[in-house]
Amino acid sequence: MATWIGVPPWQWAVFIVVILFFLALDLGVFHRKAHVVGFREALAWTSLWVTLSLLFGFLIAPRMVEGWTHQETVEYITGYLVELSLSMDNVFVIAMIFSYFRVPPQYQHRVLFWGILGALVMRGIMIAAGAALVKKFLWTLYVFGAFLVVTGIKMLFSRQEGVHPERNPVIRAARRWFPVTPDYVGQQFFARWNGRRAITPLMLVLLMVETTDLIFAVDSIPAIFGITTKPFIVFTSNVFAILGLRSLYFVLANLINLFRYLKTGLSVVLVFIGVKMLVDPHGQPARWWQYDLPTTTALLVVATILSGSILASLIHGLWERRASPKASASSPPGQTDS
**pLDDT tens digits, one per residue of 233-274:** 999 999 999 888 888 888 887 677 677 888 899 999 999 999
Residue 26 belongs to some domain of the structure? no
Q: How far apart are CA 6 and CA 25, in angstroms?
A: 30
Which helix (H) or strand (E) element contains residue 139?
A: none
Q: How far apart are CA 227 and CA 46, in angstroms?
A: 24
Q: Which pTM was predicted?
A: 0.85
Q: How far apart are CA 296 and CA 201, in angstroms?
A: 46
Residue 9 belongs to some domain of the structure? no
Q: How far apart are CA 313 and CA 76, in angstroms?
A: 27
Pairing of strands 190-193, 196-199: antiparallel
What mean pLDDT is predicted for residues 61-76? Answer: 90
Q: How far apart are CA 131 and CA 36, in angstroms?
A: 39
Residue 334 belongs to some domain of the structure? no
How many degrees, rounded to 5, is the angle at CA 220 between CA 26 and CA 3?
80
Q: How far apart are CA 213 and CA 238, in angstroms?
A: 12
What confidence tens digit (pLDDT) does each residue in 70-109 have?
999 999 999 999 998 888 878 888 888 998 899 998 898 8
- Which one, of 23, 68, 84, 57, lies nearest residue 265 by Cα? 84
| DSSP-based three-state secondary structure for 159 | coil
Of 287 and 161, the one with more pLDDT: 287
pLDDT for position 161: 65
Q: What letters, b where the CB count within 10 A reaches 16 and e where it falls short, cover 76-110?
A: bbbbbbbbbbbbbbbbbbbbbbbeebebeeebbbb
Residue-range definition of the domain harbouring residue 92: 37-284+291-319
Number of domains in the chain: 1
Residue 18 belongs to some domain of the structure? no
Cβ atoms within 10 Å, residue 232: 23
Residue 11 belongs to some domain of the structure? no
pLDDT for position 235: 93
Residue 223 belongs to some domain of the structure? yes
